[in-house]
Every structure is written in structure tokens, then in C-alpha cells.
Amino acid sequence: MDIFQAIIIAIVEGLTEFLPISSTAHMIFTSTFFGIQEDEFVKMFQVSIQFGAILSVVVLYWRKFFNFKSFDFYIKLALAVVPALVLGKLFDDKIDELLGSPIPIAIAMILGGVVLLFIDNVFKNPTIRKEEDITVKKAISIGFWQCLAMMPGVSRSAASIIGGMQQKLTRDVAAEFSFFLAVPTMAAVTLYSVFLKDWNYNGIEQKGYEMIAQSGNLSIFIIGNIIAFLVALLAIKTFVEVIKKYGFKFFGYYRIFAGIVILILLLVK
């Protein structure tokens, strides 16, 4: 992977991480287009630059993250992230297999789009209009919904937002809690992929940080995270305004269209 490819993938990540359209799917399709998806460093890069994107949440909502007078917020996030950490570790190998299979991911994109077309009509009459009213039980329930996104193409954002709406959160509060939940979730995934996971890079079993330290990879890694961070700053604000006014149908149509186009391209190439 060269710098240009890394920049494009990072832009894709920043744009899609917090939208209900699956950032993982979009990065995989992009790297497949470049012909680099089978490279282990590319796979690790796609996971780890999500850390850059989630830092944008901390910056935009810094008052919430650094309000040490309210520990309920931290407790809810800590407990909500547990299901993803446990199940993610248990199914790590299966997830890796799916990351290299664009066709099932395209199908998941389409099916997820169909769900988004109707989701605004399914969960009506929300009663929770601010984060402080989310109970620990509801936070944990949303954490289990987030686990659906272990299937690449489902979208972590979509799964957790739908989970929030199922728990009677308004669309915008569900979206914001999804952003908050992304921070510990993706931080843990990044730390695991960089420091704990074994990757088969150039025929040698290596940790993520060992791959990053090799010639040229460090600059790619740093630039990727910076770009993902900057682009995500813009994407988050836009997304919240869109769902407040229009709901999720637009994203549903987009997923279906994109999934069909990608599926056709994959099948005819």
C-alpha cells in the first residue's frame, strides 16, 4: 500500500465510520479495488485508523468525556462495551475470514439497507431525549445490539443506533450514544490489533506494531489516522443534522444501491 492508497482509504473511513453504511465494508471494497486487500498490513491499517476517527468524537464532545463529576457516563460505556469485547475475541478468526470475502459483505450492505428503509416506522414514540436518562440496563442492551456489526457490512453505527431506538431513545440521542460507545469499542479493537494480535506479514508472524515499524509503514499509519480524524469531524456533525430532519431512509437507499453495484462488479470481473 502506498501513501495515495492510504489517504483514499482513510478518507473513506472518516466519511463512513459514524454513518450507518459500514465503514469496514467501504474500506474493504476500496482496498479490493486497489488490489491490496489480501495484505496483512492493509487489514491491520483498516482496523487501526478507526482510532483516528473515534478521536473526533472525544474532541467534539469533550465536555461529556471530561466531565469527571458524572461517573455514570463512564460506567454505562464500560459495561456496554463488554459484549463486543468478549464476543469479538471469541469470533476473531471467523471475522478475519469474512474480512477477505467481499461478496457476503455486499449482501449484508443490501439487507441492512432494507432494514433502514423501515426503521423509522418500527420504533416510534421515543421517551428518552437526553443521554443522562439512559439506564445501565439500556446501555448494556445497546452494547449487545452493537455485536451484530461483527459481521462486516452490517455497520457498528447502524446496529447500535437501531439498538438505541429499540430502547426508546430518539434518533439523535441514539446516534450520539453510538458515537460515545464507539470510543471504548474501537480503542480496544485498535489496541488489540496493534499490540496483541498476530499477523502473518510477508510470511512472518508479527504484531501490528512490528509491521508499523517497518520502512514506509509508520508514515502511512500516522497519515491515515490524521486524515480519518479530520474527515470524521465533518461527517459527525452532518450526520446528526441529516437524521434529525430526514431519518434513515436515505442511508437505506444508498446501502442498497451501493451493495448491488459492488455485487455486480464483483461477479462480472
Which pLDDT tens digit goes with each residue over 99-138?
667 788 888 899 999 999 998 888 888 999 999 999 999 9
Other Cβ atoms within 10 Å of 234 Cβ, number = 12
Place of cell 437505506: 252
Contact status, residue 193 vs residue 42, Cβ threshold 8 Å:
no
As a whole number, mean pLDDT of residues 75-96 equals 84
Tell me the whole-structure pTM to 2 decimals: 0.88
**pLDDT over 70 at 163, yes or no:** yes
Give the pLDDT confidence score for residue 96 in this predicted structure.
Answer: 65
Q: Taking Cα atoms as reference points, which of 155, 164, 169, 179 lies closest to residue 233?
A: 179
Other Cβ atoms within 10 Å of 67 Cβ, number = 12
> 95: pLDDT confidence band, cut at 50, 70 and 90?
low
Other Cβ atoms within 10 Å of 123 Cβ, number = 18
Q: Taking Cα atoms as reference points, which of 200, 216, 212 lies closest to residue 93?
A: 200
Place of cell 449487545: 144
